[in-house]
Amino acid sequence: MKLVILDRDGVINQDSATFIKSPAEWIPIAGSLEAIAMLNQSGYRVAVATNQSGIARGLFDMAALNAIHDKMHRALSQLGGRIDALFYCPHAADDHCDCRKPKTGMIEDISRRFSIELNQVYAVGDALRDLQAFAHAGCKPILVRTGKGEETLTQGNLPPNTLVMADLAEAAQHIISEQTILAK
């Protein structure tokens, strides 16, 4: 089985310093939904691992988060794409949970859900904490320049072997082309 793990805000949809609190605020990044559909059509399963501390902060509730994700799933299905599993951390940083990135709890849960070793799994994020969680869990991290990506790149200290791509569309093309090369 082939799997790709994605962060949500800043990778799939536009990010906001004030959080994505409603379906109206969830706006896909140009080409991101098509990239997920392209991954699916190339035989990849797609999982999302997203920190959603806005729940712990009281900025939105589970009904709002579910409505946001419903909008994302519907938009993807219209393009022939899907997200096979969606994992989220509802905790604030001071809750000291094991699931909030940069900790690896969500990534390890994805590994168990799909019964897959993570050393061949690409994971795409826009923030250093995404890349740290992915790398510590054993994934192959990709930084996209969308969302917080430019700032993350400028700050440096990326995990070793982190690839840098313009956006999810370029990352998907790279993942698919590498798999094609390996299959030969």
Torsion (CA) 147, 5, 27, 144 in degrees, nearest 10: 30
Q: How far apart are CA 14 and CA 148, in angstroms?
A: 10
Which of the residues 7, 15, 126, 167 is marked catalytic? 7
Residues 6+ apart with CB under 8 A from 70: 23
Does 94 participate in catalysis according to the annotation?
no
The pair of three-digit structure tokens given for residue 67, joined into one six-digit string: 């409505």
Residues 6+ apart with CB under 8 A from 62: 55, 90
Does 7 participate in catalysis according to the annotation?
yes
Beta-carbon count within 10 A of 72 CB: 22
Which of the residues 9, 15, 126, 167 is marked catalytic? 9
Q: Which residues are catalytic?
A: 7, 9
